[in-house]
Amino acid sequence: VELRREGPPRVARRAARLPVGRPAVSKHLRVLSDAGLIEHRSAGTRNLYALAPDGMARAQQWLVGTWDTALAAYAAEVKRRKP
């Protein structure tokens, strides 16, 4: 969380400062990106990440929760209908 305020450092730089491997950092960044909490852009071979606009975080969290609730219910309905 502390790192997130520092702007968009490269994955490699970020990984060097965390007690986990670079693949794990990339994986977590992907999850945060899918949730809309951070923005991702590529610059050559670099992957740059930045916090999504500040006031948006709460709405993002809520929308992700909404879709996860809805999609879980949808998957359950698909399963229920399975012959």
Partner 1 sequence: MNAVPPIRREILVDADPDAAFEVFTAGLGQWWPLGEHSVHGRDAAVSFDDGQIIERSAGGQDTLWGTVTRWEPPDVVAFSWHPGYSADRASRVEVTFAAAGSGQTLVTLTHTGWEAFADPAAARAEYDEGWPVVLERYARHSRTPTARA
Pick from 10, 15, 36, 48 the residue near partner 1 by CB under 8 A: 36
State the Cα–Cα distance between residues 2 and 9, nearest whole angstrom. 13
Contact status: 52 vs partner 1 (CB under 8 A): yes
The residue among 41, 39, 31 whose CA lies nearest residue 64 is 31
In the bound complex, what is the minimum distance in angstroms from residue 54's beta carbon to partner 1?
A: 10
State the Cα–Cα distance between residues 56 and 11, nearest whole angstrom. 23
Contact status: 39 vs partner 1 (CB under 8 A): yes
Contact status: 5 vs partner 1 (CB under 8 A): no
State the Cα–Cα distance between residues 21 and 56, nearest whole angstrom. 30
What does the binding site for partner 1 look like in residue numbers (CB under 8 A)? 27-28, 30-31, 33-36, 38-40, 52-53, 55-56, 58-60, 62-79, 81-82
